[in-house]
Amino acid sequence: MTELKTHLQATGPWAVRGTDAMSEDRPHAPVLSACRGGPAERLGGALRSLHPALVFVVLMLAGLAATALLSICLGLLVTRVLEPAWGIGAANERVNGWFAAHRTASLTDASLIGSIIAGGVVLPIVVGSIAFVCAVLRRWRIAAFLLFALGVESASYRLTTLVVNSHRPHVARLENLPVDASYPSGHTAASIAVYCGLALLITSRLKHGAARALVWTFAVAIVTFVGLSRTYRGMHHPIDVAGGIALGAVALTVLVFVCRTAGAAADARDR
């Protein structure tokens, strides 16, 4: 009887949720599974009468609206208050001027690579390829997380640039892009959404601290490389890069919560 009880606790519909004991979510990334008694599980239980896909879509759209609103408000605060009143704008320009004065052929080539790996061609290919493999393997939650993390970030970035008109650095810019879309750095935000999103998925499956540290070091290095590249090329101020980091982090947080809640709603329906 003891063995039977232990087996049911580990595999039954009431199995303990979390990163160490997971039932039917074991093939998925533990970070996308609701913690037992957490807000995602409670909300998912309240929405169990709805189809999990509908729960995902509704919460994702709500999260998109909240992310865009937060990014717009932060952008207005930065461009209308902090930059003029605190002298941040002048300090930003000095940083961009220093980078422009120290450009070399090799650094310019490196900055181009830093922009490409977080651009509108490479990231959709990376995300689309991984999502396709996950869909074939029926890992729908991982596929949806990657696709919509980038989607929420991109849509929020576009909405922010439509409202917040921030002039790009007054240096020789190495790319032809609209001059009034400096805040936030979309490349930096996208690199956070994708590369840090992948790091979240991978490290949630790793047990060894050294391996997790290595993965996160690589992800942070990529984001840093992208942010420095955008500043070097005269496309963004340092504070725009900081805004991009905040936007990407919020988009990731939203999608983690949405995936957890949709999964909890599915589990509640099964029970």
Mean pLDDT within 36-45:
93
The residue among 53, 80, 75 whose CA lies nearest residue 246 is 75
- 64-91 tens-digit pLDDT: 999 999 999 999 999 999 888 877 888 9
With 90 as the cut, is the pLDDT of residue 15 above it?
no
Q: What is the average pLDDT score of the chain?
A: 89
pLDDT grade for 21, boundaries at 50, 70 and 90? very low
Q: How far apart are CA 61 and CA 114, in angstroms?
A: 30
pLDDT of residue 187 exceeding 80: yes
State the Cα–Cα distance between residues 62 and 254, nearest whole angstrom. 9
Q: What pLDDT is stored for residue 269 in this prediction? A: 84
Residue 25 pLDDT > 60, yes or no? no
pTM, full prediction: 0.87
The answer to the question of residue 92 being in a domain is yes
Distance of alpha carbon 31 from alpha carbon 29, whole angstroms: 5
Between CA 145 and CA 127 the distance in angstroms is: 10
Which one is predicted more confidently, 229 or 9? 229
pLDDT computed for residue 110 by the predictor: 98
Give the burial class of 141: count Cβ atoms within 10 A of its Cβ; 0-12 exposed, 13-18 middle, 19 or more buried. Answer: buried
Residue 23 lies in a domain: no
Six token digits for residue 76: 């207005």
16: confidence class by pLDDT, cuts 50, 70, 90: very low
Domain count of the fold of the chain: 1
> Where in the sequence is the domain holding 169, given as residue range(s)?
49-270
- Report yes or no on 15 lying in a domain: no
**Range 13-28 average pLDDT:** 40
Question: Does 243 fall in a domain?
Answer: yes
Enter the tokens of residue 248: 């990407």
Q: What pLDDT does 75 receive? A: 96
- Extract long-range pairs of 220-225: CB within 8 Å, 24+ residues apart: 220/196, 222/117, 222/118, 222/191, 222/195, 223/188, 223/191, 223/192, 223/195, 223/196, 225/114, 225/117
- Cβ contacts of 164-170, under 8 Å, gap ≥ 24: 164/72, 164/75, 164/76, 164/79, 165/79, 166/75, 166/78, 166/79, 166/240, 168/234, 168/235, 168/236, 169/92, 169/93, 169/96, 169/97, 169/234, 169/235, 169/236, 169/237, 170/93, 170/96
Give the span between the Cα atoms of 234 and 229, in whole angstroms.
9
Q: Let me know if residue 21 belongs to a domain.
A: no
- The model's confidence at residue 6, banded by pLDDT at 50, 70 and 90, is very low
Q: Which of 23-37, 41-55, 148-162 shows the lowest mean pLDDT across its residues?
A: 23-37
Give a yes or no: residue 7 inside a domain. no
